[in-house]
Homo-oligomer: A and B are copies of this chain.
Amino acid sequence: MSELSVVGKNVIRLDALEKVTGTALYAADEALGEPGMLHGKVLWSPHAHARIISIDISRAKKVPGVEAVLTGKDVPEARVGSCVDDQHMLAREKVRFVGDAVAVVAARTLEAAEEALALIKVKYEVLPAVFDAEEAMRPDCPVVLHPGLSGYKRNMYPYLGNDLPGPNVHTHHKVRRGNVEEGFRQADLIVENRFSTARISHCQLEPASSVARPNVDGTLVISTSTKSVYTGVQAEVCRFFGLPPSKVRGVTHYIGGNFGSAPRAHIFAALAAIRTGRPVKVVFSREECFFRDLNRLPMVIYLKDGVKKDGTLVARQIKLICNCGAYAQITPLVIRNGSFGSSQYRIPNFRWDAYGVYTNEPPSGAFRGFGNAQPFWAMEQHMDIIAEKLRMDPVELRQKNLIAEGEENLRGEKTHSMGAAECLDKVAQWIGWGRPTSQPSSNTVKVAKGFALANKYTQVDTIASALVRFNKDGFVDVFHGSDEIGQGSQTVLAQIAAEELGVPVEKIKVIWGDSARVPYDHGAISSRTTMFVGNAIRAACQDVKRLICATASPVMGAAPEDLEARGGQIYFRSNPSKSMPVSDLFLPGRATCLPHDAELLGQGTFFYKGYSDGDPETGQGTRLTASYCYTAHAVEVAVDTETGEVKVLRFCSATDVGRAINPKLCEAQSEGGIAQGIGSALYEEMLLDRGRVLNCNFHDYGMPRMTELPGNHDLKCFLVEANHREGPFGAKGMGEGAMTPSAPAIANAIYNATGVRLMDLPMSPERLLRALKAQNKEAGHKSGPL
């Protein structure tokens, strides 16, 4: 591996020039000025729960330029959904959250569409609503959001579970290992707490935008800003409209951030396009993105840990109540996959019960970390609580319990590529764990350090394909079906191809974003692109090299296996000083070989043959994930005990990426994760008033700005390389792990600074002040010395 020439180098992003010059194309740039294009707008429900009595569209239809006003009557009768078939494109009888779609208008101008929207008169009968998941979960809960739930099709049955404790619960996911009761009996110390996380928004910079074009042959071309041209665009449109995949062509361009968001402007564009037979463009406002983007699933987490005096974890019981909002969407899978994070420690007795609950809040979905950041919020605070109670060093406690390479984890998987210990060491050393803080505490400003360790699995049950075209001028086209959501994957994939072919990365062109033109891929999800698509591309490059050798064989008078293609040359293995340029294969008139003008096409596919879904009763299986990426965060904070404000002074991350194909891009992911992690820890929360989002804009919503982040010298991202035997050149995915430990690391630091432990996210000044006040009161009661 020491001879790698492109992998491991900080190649400048292939899209840098296009992005800095403003010429990179995004979905909203499509069809500007195109004659005949219609503009679509959606009418959203103003009520969290209501029966639709009537919809009067007569005045809306008369607005000049309006081509269609569509309501629930115009959509398929069958409900659909990713996991539970519980949703109509447009509400048919009831609305279930503030933002449920009620009507779509398509008009020749945006102004006409907006005018028509305002003229639609909907009569509602407001129904009692439920916003609290624990309340909604009670068997006697009077609000039954989906009365037909038992009749709904549940598409991911093993993940959804079968013993549902209430009429509003759609998911009960279980993991069982050993016997927790027995474990707790063996324990010397039991720690038990309740935690909660907030509903937060992806806040990707590009608002959802889509153009749907109907063809006369019944096919639809959908261009959209949603990631994953096959699964996120094509498959979804197929599901909603009952079309076979070959009738839907998904197109994506550059995407201005994603983080798991799925705003689905394309569903409304497609509906209007099908009904009018004309191209329709739908662009969401920032406000619409907030309540339609399937925010991060809020959880209430009851965590109970049992531990021996020496720090050995013996039992963990965890119950999660997840507020999924009005439709299940992808949350059953988020809930199930959130359980993988627990695998980093050796815990012989483990019990996990997670409940997905309907409420009248906006629906949740995927969010960077896919269900893992929430349990870590609880679990990594517990590790510090336990360490303190046992008077152990919290680094040492974690190191002691870390699962080892080759060891079976609590799901039954054999652990491989385990860089967590090194990650912990790296951040502890950089932050100066056990040494003084960078600035002293004052009377009112308390400074301290904290850290946490987390991980993010990569999904196993997907497939990636790639085509590689070696052109006669030595340039190489790489075709694949994943998406560029800003993470730089095209650059990383180009590096993998360049390394495998032995050509400069400047010669690689990466082509993606069109289901009718590129091979299938499951998409830019689950931090899987580098591993899955990278492996598929590598295989395709190897195919090209085989083809080069086979084609050169008669020309060079050697068996194909005696030849080796590398760096645009074909070498004799027996005598590497002799070679022929690959370009000679394209010489005109070389009758024994390729005619001029041709290309060499190779293909590759990557998937796991032996994966399983896991046993539905115990969650056990031998191959449930493709890989785990470990991330440790260490942070130094200054807490102003008078204002409750927390300032992050220094931040360090260390991430086990398997192999950094492009270190700078890995660091960029780490830095972005830290920023998003700080936001989720301290500021971000969708504030809801009876289901209505109050702060759905960048002014009122608390995304951190540069001023809230540590400066360059106070921010450090380490990369650890525990090569994965199945990754391309050893690489694993790493984008999502980047924010999973941030919130508990900051919570641990705040505790170390102030002695107050916050169990609810975000750790806002209000919450912190309240906790400090309670602490003072308690201290007063106890009247001991501070």
Interface residues of A (CB under 8 A from B): 17-18, 21, 23, 32-35, 215-217, 230-231, 235, 244-246, 461-463, 465, 467, 469, 471-473, 475, 477, 479, 507, 509, 511, 514, 516-517, 519-520, 522, 589, 591-592, 594-595, 597-599, 601, 603, 605, 607, 609-613
On whether the beta carbons of A23 and B473 are closer than 8 Å, the reply is no
User: Residue on B with the closest CB to A475?
Assistant: B246
Chain B residues lying within 8 Å of A599, measured Cβ to Cβ, are 465, 519-520
Q: Other than the known A18-B216, A21-B216, A244-B475, what 16 A-B pairs have Cβ atoms closer than 8 Å?
A: A17-B216, A23-B215, A23-B216, A33-B35, A235-B597, A245-B471, A245-B473, A245-B475, A461-B589, A462-B595, A463-B597, A465-B601, A469-B519, A479-B517, A509-B516, A591-B609
Bound Cα distance from A32 to B35, whole angstroms = 7
Query: CA–CA, A595 to B464, complex, Å?
Result: 10
The answer to whether B603 and A591 have CB atoms under 8 Å apart is: no
The 4 closest A-B pairs by CB, nearest first: A246-B475, A33-B33, A244-B473, A517-B517
Contact partners of A594 in chain B: CB under 8 A:
463, 607
Contacts of A465 in B (CB 8 A): 598-599, 601
Q: Are A522 and B597 in contact, with the CB atoms below 8 A?
A: yes
In the assembled complex, the Cα of A251 lies from the Cα of B282 at a distance in Å of 27
A520 to B586: give the CA distance in the assembly, Å: 13
When C-beta atoms are compared, the residue in chain B nearest to A593 turns out to be B609
Complex CA distance for A472 and B230, rounded to whole angstroms: 12
Question: Which single member of B18, B511, B522, B597 contacts A517 (CB below 8 Å)?
Answer: B511
- Minimum distance in angstroms from A176 CB to a CB of chain B: 22
A85, chain B: closest CB distance, angstroms: 16
Complex alpha-carbon distance, A511 and B221, angstroms: 14
CA distance A610 to B609 in the complex (A): 43
Q: Which of A230, A246, A462, A519 has the most chain B CB within a 10 Å cutoff?
A: A246
Is there an interface contact between B463 and A598, defined as CB atoms closer than 8 Å?
yes
Instruction: Chain B residues near A471: list those with CB within 8 A.
Output: 245-246
Q: Can you offer 24 A-B residue contacts whose CB atoms are under 8 A?
A: A18-B215, A23-B215, A23-B216, A32-B34, A33-B33, A231-B597, A245-B475, A246-B473, A246-B475, A246-B507, A461-B589, A461-B595, A463-B594, A463-B595, A467-B467, A479-B517, A519-B599, A519-B601, A520-B597, A520-B599, A591-B612, A594-B607, A595-B607, A601-B603
Chain B residues with CB below 8 A from A477, complex form: 246, 516
Q: How far is the CB of A238 from chain B (nearest CB, A)?
A: 9
Who on chain B is nearest to A244 by CB? B473
- Chain B residues within an 8 Å CB radius of A479: 517
Tell me the bound Cα distance from A18 to B218 in angstroms: 11
A612 and B598 alpha carbons, distance in the complex (Å): 17
Q: Indicate whether A591 sits within 8 Å of B611 (C-beta atoms), given known contacts A33-B33, A469-B519.
A: yes
Chain B neighbourhood of A605, CB < 8 A: 598
Closest approach, in angstroms, between the C-beta of A508 and any C-beta of chain B? 10
Q: Are B520 and A598 in contact (CB under 8 A)?
A: yes
In whole Å, how far is A34's beta carbon from the nearest beta carbon of chain B?
5
Distance to closest chain B CB from A137 (angstroms): 30
Q: In the complex, which residues of chain B have a beta carbon less than 8 angstroms from the beta carbon of A246? A: 471, 473, 475, 477, 507, 509
For A22, give the chain B residue with the smallest CB separation. Answer: B216
Q: Note all chain B residues with C-beta closer than 8 A to A601.
A: 465, 467, 519, 603
A578–B245 Cα gap in the complex (Å)?
28
Cβ–Cβ < 8 Å partners of A598 in chain B = 463, 465, 520, 605, 607
A332 CB to closest chain B CB (Å) equals 16
User: Hey, which chain B residues are within 8 Å of A463, CB to CB?
Assistant: 594-595, 597-598
CA distance A507 to B235 in the complex (A): 18
Give A120 Cβ to nearest chain B Cβ, in Å: 29
Shortest CB distance A646–B (Å): 42
A160 to chain B, nearest CB (A): 15
The CA of A530 and the CA of B677, in the complex, are separated in Å by 59
Would you call A17 and B217 a contact (CB within 8 A)? yes
**From residue A217, how far is it (CB to closest CB) to chain B in Å?**
6
* A479 and B591 alpha carbons, distance in the complex (Å): 26
Task: Please report the C-alpha to C-alpha distance between residue A519 and residue B35 in the assembled complex, in whole angstroms.
Answer: 32
A612 to B517, alpha carbons, bound, how many Å? 35
Docked Cα-Cα span, A235 to B479, in Å, equals 22
Give Cα A32–Cα B34 distance, bound, in whole angstroms. 6
Tell me the nearest residue of chain B to A15, going by C-beta. B217
Nearest chain B CB to A295's CB is how many angstroms away?
Answer: 26
Q: Which residues of B contact A589 (CB under 8 A)?
A: 461, 613
What residues of chain B lie closer than 8 Å to A17, measured between beta carbons?
Answer: 216-217
- Residues on B with C-beta less than 8 A from A216 are 17-18, 21, 23
- How many Å lie between the Cα of A244 and that of B475 in the bound state? 9
Residue among A472, A595, A607 with max Cβ neighbours from chain B (10 Å): A595
CA distance in complex: A477, B514 (Å):
13
Bound CA span A605–B602, Å: 12
- Expressed in whole angstroms, the Cα–Cα distance for A520 and B599 within the complex equals 7
CB contacts (< 8 Å) of A473 on chain B: these are: 244-246
Task: Determine if B519 and A511 form an interchain contact, defined as CB atoms under 8 angstroms apart.
Answer: no
In Å, the complex CA distance between A517 and B510 comes to 11
A64 → chain B, closest Cβ, in Å? 20
Q: A217 — which chain B residues lie within 8 A by C-beta?
A: 17-18
Nearest CB in chain B: distance from A275 CB, A: 17
Output the nearest chain B residue to A17 by Cβ-Cβ distance.
B216
A610 neighbours in B (Cβ, 8 Å):
591
Q: In the complex, A698 Cα to B603 Cα: how many Å?
A: 50
Give the residues in chain B near A592, CB-CB below 8 Å. 609
| A578 smallest CB distance to B (angstroms) | 25
CA distance A477 to B475 in the complex (A): 25
A607 to B586 alpha-carbon distance, docked (Å): 13
Contacts of A603 in B (CB 8 A): 601, 603
Most buried by B among A511, A520, A611: A520
Are the C-beta atoms of A516 and B511 separated by less than 8 Å? yes
Alpha-carbon distance A18/B603, docked complex (angstroms):
33
